Amino acid sequence: MDPRKLGFPDQILSPRRRVVPGFGLGISISLIFLSFLLLYRSSRGNYFFPVYYRSTPVDSLFSSWCFSFSSPSLSDLTSKSSKFPAHAAPTPPVRPIPPQMASPSNHTLNTNGSFKLNAHPPNGSGIGNGSIPTRGKLGPGKENEERTPSNSISSKNDTTLYQEENIHSSNADDKNASEGNGGRNSSERIQITNNSQPMGASNDSFDEECDIFDGKWVRDDSKPYYPPGSCPYIDRDFDCHLNRRPDDGYVKWKWQPNGCNIPSLNATHFLELLRGRNLVFVGDSLNRNMWESLVCILRHSIAHKERVYEISGRTDFKKKGFYAFRFEDFNCSVDFVSSPFLVRESTFERDNETMETLRLDEMDETTEMYRDADVLVFNTGHWWTHEKTSRGENYYQEGNHLHPRLKVLEAFKRALTTWGQWIDNNVDGNRTLVFFRGYSYSHFSGGQWNSGGQCDNETEPIYKEAYLGKYPKKMRALEYVMGEMKTRTSYLNITRMTHYRKDAHPSIYRMEYKTEEERRASVGVQDCSHWCLPGVPDTWNELLYVSLLRMANKFWRD
């Protein structure tokens, strides 16, 4: 056979292969292999060795979750290679979001398509080992994490409070992120982007099933929500700083729930929740204590303080009446209605004698001031003592019947029943959020408020739960009444948390004394019921904020 008629491979393998030296044969085979290799690589682009290929660095937020992703096939990766420049690394394939993170209630989607992750617990006690403690553990440190570029995720089911963490995949993005927050770590800042969050969502995650009122006080040296002495709307009786109380330890405590962490009160976000709405506190002077606290917290976040004002221009709020603070920039108001019993104080004519009575079956005439409010925060209880109610003799009235004698607890329960029925019949539960703040403990020692009771030497809270008293029967009556109501109502159960804080009352620091004689005289008339501001009521409002987030997220859709 003529070797010239054979194909090129057959020439090499023909019986007459002796005409080709062994060395030349090896070179020929190598050249053929390299030719095929080069041709194949040029046609397949950069993905010929995909197992060693890696684009820009990524970290392991996704890969550390306890589920796996299927790897893309080689054909999937190479089919689109022609769309990339010759020397540009393509964007890695987008990983699917796990089901538990995909729910709208579990994350916040920004307008730029990125998610938010809350990454650090409260009080600045960040996670030092690089791990993120959550209910579903995300795994070890960041060196093994994998994240999609410029994305972060916020889970509302986390039991640990997180601040925002921005996640970037390129050096340019990292540089911009650093410059954007002054070169500090992104965990040091908190940002609320109201126009990209669902109503009621904050930048903090907390367990919505957690009992935020079951907890303990922990030391916290961070500053209060507003500097002591800075708010002109605090009742002078509550402004312990201006009244020269020598210690300030009473403002260095934070409430820590046992089962979860809660977000701090973000005043700007609170005002955004209230935009176009009004919040009304209704009750006695302890609710005024709480109202003044919230006004000061919210006002401190406003740059132009002149745009926050009481609509009547008043600065003394002790007299019974209606007071409203307007926040112009948010078109909202935070109001207080004085109604210490919630039900109506009245008179009764008998035997040509006019007697003061308390109508247990009728609400106070102030109801028209708050009937259409968007948020209602009620309280009562401190005036329900025998001293305030003539020991229950010929004082409680229902219809035309004046009870000769009625126990205060029974009268209290009947009045609350009247309140609950009024709420059910007059408040639109689809629009108005209703709260009832529980009983706030007093700490008189050696007598009551009018018999020499004192607390001026108290500078530390009660530390042991065994020293706390029993849960008040009045609050059990409240729980019963609320259980019978049709309207959705949230109970701010601050009773036990206040029992610890015997250190935080104004005591003798209700005014600035001009003489030593005045100061000595004040020892016999102390205030161990109300609270210094800043102080404990700031925490009540923090818990109101968390409770408002829970309810607004469910019931306010606009």
Question: Each residue of 164-195: pLDDT tens digit?
Answer: 323 233 333 333 333 333 333 333 332 333 33
Which residue's structure tokens are 């102080």?
535
Half-sphere exposure (CA, 13 Å, Cβ side) for 51?
0
Is the separation of the CB atoms in 538 and 503 below 8 Å? no
* Residues tagged active-site: 285, 527, 530
| Beta-ladder partners of 180 | none
Confidence of residue 527 (pLDDT cuts 50, 70, 90): very high
- Domain spans of the chain, in order of start: 3-48, 215-555
Predicted pLDDT at 553:
77
Top pLDDT among 528 and 28 is at 528
Q: Which two tokens stand for residue 450?
A: 């009018």
* Farthest CA pair distance, the chain: 146
Q: Is 57's pLDDT higher than 70? A: no
Top pLDDT among 82 and 26 is at 26
Q: Is 343's pLDDT higher than 80? A: yes
Which residue's structure tokens are 């040509």?
352
DSSP of 443-512: --BSS-TTTT-B-TT--S----GGGS-PPPHHHHHHHHHHHH-SS-EEEE--HHHHHT-TT-S-BTTTS-
Confidence of residue 31 (pLDDT cuts 50, 70, 90): confident
Lowest mean pLDDT among 76-90, 280-294, 525-539: 76-90
Can you give the three-state secondary structure of 243-284, one letter per residue? Answer: CCCCCCHHHCEEEEECCCCCCCCCHHHHHHHHCCCEEEEEEC
Top pLDDT among 537 and 159 is at 537
Average pLDDT over residues 466-484: 95
Q: Is the dihedral of CA 349, 353, 356, 357 positive or negative?
A: negative
- Total residue count of the chain as it appears in this document: 558
Q: Which two tokens stand for residue 175?
A: 């540089």
- The total of other beta-carbon atoms located within 10 Å of residue 122's CB is 19
d(CA 56, CA 147): 11
* AA identity, residue 511: M
Is the separation of the CB atoms in 417 and 368 below 8 Å? no
Predicted pLDDT at 40:
52
Confidence of residue 27 (pLDDT cuts 50, 70, 90): low
At 286-342, the pLDDT tens digits run 999 999 999 999 999 999 999 999 999 988 898 889 999 999 999 999 999 999 999
Element (H, E) at 361: strand 353-363
Is the separation of the CB atoms in 526 and 248 below 8 Å? no
Average pLDDT, the chain: 73
Predicted pLDDT at 24:
59
